[in-house]
Amino acid sequence: MKQSVENFVTIPMGTKVSAVENKQLLGDITEADIYAAIKAVERHKSAGEEDLGNDFYYDVPEPMVPRLVELGKDLFYEENPT
């Protein structure tokens, strides 16, 4: 199977992730990950489906971060998010 994929897909060396990076990317989502993602978003953007704009998450992350971690884990492990 590996050879079949390699024959079909060629990933340039500069875009491959290392084994260490891959392990980190496949690890559990942490509160630090969520805080970093919140800090990376632009303020004053339109609200999404949940009707909460980026400013909400940016200004009051404390109550949301633990829930977002759980939601991320549910999605990653294909459980039904609540």
Q: Which two tokens stand for residue 70?
A: 């759980």
Per-residue pLDDT tens listing for the chain (82 residues):
677 777 787 777 778 888 898 888 888 899 999 999 999 988 887 777 878 888 888 888 899 999 999 998 888 887 665 5
pTM for the predicted model, two decimal places: 0.64
On whether residue 81 sits in a domain, the answer given is no
- Cβ neighbors of 69 (< 8 A, separation 6 or more) are 29, 30, 31, 33, 34
> Domain range for residue 10?
2-76
Residue 39 lies in a domain: yes
What is the reported pLDDT for 63? Answer: 92
Residue 82 in domain: no
How many separate domains does the chain show? 1
**Max alpha carbon distance in the chain (Å)?**
49
Examine residue 63 and state whether it is found in any structural domain, yes or no: yes
Residue 44 lies in a domain: yes
- Of the candidates 38, 30, 72, 37, the one whose C-alpha atom is nearest the C-alpha of residue 58 is 38
Tell me the two tokens of residue 32: 């630090």
